[in-house]
Amino acid sequence: MAKDTTGRMRVTVKSGGRMKLSSKLWLERQLNDPYVAQAKRDGYRSRAAYKLTEIDDKFRLLKPGMAVVDLGAAPGGWSQVAAKKVGAADGRGKVVAIDLLEMGEVPGVTFAQLDFLDPSAPDRLRAMLGGGADLVMSDMAANTTGHRKTDQLRIVGLVETAAMFAAEVLKPGGAFLAKVFQSGADASLMAELKRDYASVKHVKPAASRKDSSERYLLATGFRGGAARNEAAAGEPG
């Protein structure tokens, strides 16, 4: 075991050549990641739980009694954090979650294994919600193809579809949080969000790996119904 640049002990994996280099590097990163160790200690399904916790500590998004939608929820770290903060397990708040993959049960969370891009997804989610939402959050990440332009289009497509869905289900004053990558949201989506929400910003929590281009778009103060339509009507055609 050697020390890293911060003086912490660093684990190296000796695979004797039986492991692919990418697998060895992934395993070393997991073993040396303080958030992975912390998640294990705190009983969270993923280190991603700390990204939401940090964003929530700073912007106070989650409150008891709220209704939350978690898009791309597996393995469930964000759902766990949201369920705890809104009081979903004791019936005060509500968390509905979907993912392409299966997800083990999280107390208080209503889950469906579903592709968000499937045309039936918005109606299924609305039925699960049974009313408006206070927060729509998406940590969805499309599988990469290695072709930069295609990957970028897929990411933008997911964020735009999530934003459209959020605008349909959010209550006035609600918030939208979504994973974007380096490029952030594109200009037309930013313009729409700025029209629809009181505040729009990009955030990079400390738990988001420094070497990753991942960041989050946070839009708060959804103008909702009438106010939103008035703002749109005032815009030049």
Ligand X SMILES: C[S@@+](CC[C@H](N)C(=O)[O-])C[C@H]1O[C@@H](n2cnc3c(N)ncnc32)[C@H](O)[C@@H]1O
Q: How far is CA 96 from CA 62, 75, 88, 128, 129, in A?
A: 14, 14, 10, 7, 6
* Amino acid present at 182: Q
- Is 99 part of any known ligand binding site? yes
Give me the 164-203 binding string for ligand X, x by CB under 6 A, dash otherwise: ----------------------------------------
Active site residue 179: yes
CB of 46 to ligand X, least distance (A): 3
Task: Tell me which stretch binds ligand X (CB under 6 A): 31-39, 60-68, 97-105, 228-236.
Answer: 97-105
Q: Does 49 bind ligand X (CB under 6 A)?
A: yes
Binding mask 101-140 for ligand X (x = CB under 6 A): x-------------xxx---------------------xx
What SS3 class is residue 59? helix
**With binding defined as CB under 6 A, does residue 84 bind ligand X?**
no
What whole-number distance in Å separates Cα of residue 107 and Cα of residue 89?
A: 5
41-57 in b/e burial notation, b at 16+ Cβ within 10 A?
A: eeebbbbbbbbbbbbbe
Can you tell me the distance from the alpha carbon of 181 to that of 144, in angstroms, rounded to the nearest whole number?
12
Does residue 45 belong to the site contacting ligand X (CB under 6 A)? yes
* Residues recognised as catalytic: 179
Binding site for ligand X (CB under 6 A): 45-46, 48-49, 72-78, 98-101, 115-117, 139-142
